[in-house]
Structure 1
Amino acid sequence: MNEKRYFILDGIRGFAVINMIIYHFIWDLVYIFRFDIPWFESEISYIWQQFICCTFIFISGFCEPLGTRKLKRGIIILGLGILIEIVTMIATPENRVRFGILTLLGSCAILIIPAKKFLEKFPSIFGLILSIALFLLTKNINDGYLGFNNLNLIKLPSNLYKNSITTYLGFPMPNFYSTDYFSLMPWIFLYISGYFSYQIFKRQGFLKYLKISKIKSLEWIGRNSLALYVIHQPLIYFLIILFL
């Protein structure tokens, strides 16, 4: 067994991957193949989708201190995100992906490298509380407000929302459309909260509990999550067409 591997993290990521594949399978049925599945528009479906993406982003931030060749990996992930944007805009423009989750994760992995000297100035518990607070405060900025879900605290100036750069940051330009939109804000704050959580686990000696292997199949999926993410949508699409 690899003593340096945190198998619990692999298992959590693997569980999120399975949920993602199931979610996207149903999404394809509803929005591409026009199946009538009313509950998929419900609050439960939204919570499910948020659980999946929040798990990926938080775990990615938690694992950031564990990685090697961090800049190279960040560039690869960002490049895959850009490639997915190009392919979907050409092949399926009505279901295009712009600034998707891989673009976000690659950006976070790159940006946190120069930001570490600044982040290290904060006590870990304070940094965790502050990053979570900023995530909750900026959760609604895509919709023009500071606030979280149904709680809109401050309406933001409309002139913030004007071009591709502002869209990337979290202020989508008029008529912007993407089937998978993860702007830098608010999600970078969730990524940073994962980073600070790792520091707390390390300081408290909790990391040893993450080395326990539980479900090897889930752990394998978690270790190969990037490859599975890249191939799962075209594979799902092909299988649905095959069976229909």
Structure 2
Amino acid sequence: MLETTQIKQRLPFIDLIRGITIIEMISYHFLWDLVYLYNADIPWYKSHGAYIWQQSICWTFILLAGFSWHLGKKHMKRGLWAFGGGVVVSLVTAIVLPNDRVRYGVLTLIGSCILIWILLDKVLKKIPAGVGVSVSFVLFLILRSWTKQDPIQLSDNLLNVTWLKSVLAYIGFPQAGFSSTDYFPLLPWIFLFATGYFLYSFLQEKGLINRLFGKWKVPGINFLGKHSLIIYMIHQPICYVVAFLVSEIF
């Protein structure tokens, strides 16, 4: 049945999950700085386990972004802020870390998805939520596997068109020579965003939103979750400085 009680625009447990994920992200990036900028010897960080950790952080952010679409009204503002944050990260890393620059990172993806959903929301609402969750997640898994194993490559003539290469990389078809230390193109990740979007609707139909996400508040961590974008923007310079100090001391 459709949930009849009013759903809060801020769900404490969602902020808590996002806050925990922010802490994980800061920890991951701090270790990245130690390993790749200051040559710290941390073998585990280059293992498959560390990769799974990194992916779980990003999956959570993207799922929550889709889920949280329903909790706010200023979608244009939120989308532009996230997309703009992604542009800033790309520009700063291109200047400060040209060999490790970020192109089409997770902020760019989330901002893009929010802006795209402004156009798609009315249509997607007509899709049964259970079907939407299932189809979106299956498409995400299929496309994630396909784009990793069989990327589409253009002919040499087309590769001379710089803007076309950029557009293809943004969509999910990077060409030879493309690199990014944080790469989340539209395909397949837009379908993980869609999974979160439909998951909210599915749980709402079952009357579970407030029951599952309306409590569980941990003040300090919830604060991080509420201000995740600004923390994302400022955490890397702080990690960089702290990692430098740690490398100098130890």
TM-score, normalising length: structure 2: 0.88
Q: How does 1:179-198 map to 2 (within 5 A)?
A: 179-198=181-200
SS at match of 2:117: helix
- Offset, 1:140: 2.9
- Alpha-carbon spacing, 1:157–1:3, altered in 2? closer, same or farther (3 Å): closer
Distance 1:57 1:88 in 2: 22
Distance 1:4 1:60 in 2: 14
Distance 1:86 1:78 in 2: 13
Q: State the superposition RMSD in angstroms.
A: 1.8
Residue number among 12, 16, 19 corresponding to 1:7 in the alignment: 12
Matched, 1:101 2:106: yes
SS at match of 1:35: coil
One-letter identity of the residue aligned with 1:80: G
SS at match of 2:144: coil
The match for 1:203 is: 205
SS at match of 2:113: helix
Residue number among 220, 229, 233 corresponding to 1:230 in the alignment: 233
SS at match of 1:121: coil
Distance 1:120 1:240 in 2: 46
Moved over 4 A (4+): none
The match for 1:150 is: none
One-letter identity of the residue aligned with 2:235: H
One-letter identity of the residue aligned with 2:19: G
Deviations 1:102-158 (A, max 9, x none): 10000000001111132123111001100001000011344343xxxxxxxxxx543
Residue number among 10, 17, 21 corresponding to 2:22 in the alignment: 17
What fraction of aligned residue pairs are identical, expressed as a percent? Answer: 42
Does the CA contact (< 8 Å) of 1:132 and 1:190 recur in 2? Answer: yes
TM-score, normalising length: structure 1: 0.91
Distance 2:10 2:120 in 1: 26
- Offset, 1:159: 2.7
- Alpha-carbon spacing, 1:73–1:241, altered in 2? closer, same or farther (3 Å): same
Does the CA contact (< 8 Å) of 1:141 and 1:170 recur in 2? Answer: no
Query: Which range is displaced more, 101-110 or 159-168?
Result: 159-168
One-letter identity of the residue aligned with 2:170: Y
Distance 1:61 1:76 in 2: 16
Distance 1:157 1:80 in 2: 28
Distance 1:117 1:159 in 2: 35
- Offset, 1:242: 3.1
One-letter identity of the residue aligned with 1:126: V
Aligned residues: 233
One-letter identity of the residue aligned with 2:214: K
Residue number among 104, 115, 124 corresponding to 2:120 in the alignment: 115
Matched, 1:215 2:218: yes
Matched, 1:67 2:62: no
Unpaired stretches in structure 1, ≥5 consecutive residues: 146-155
The match for 1:149 is: none
One-letter identity of the residue aligned with 2:220: S
Pick 1 or 2: higher relative contact order, CA cutoff 8 A, min separation 6: 2
One-letter identity of the residue aligned with 2:26: I
One-letter identity of the residue aligned with 1:228: I
The match for 1:79 is: 84
Distance 1:242 1:36 in 2: 16
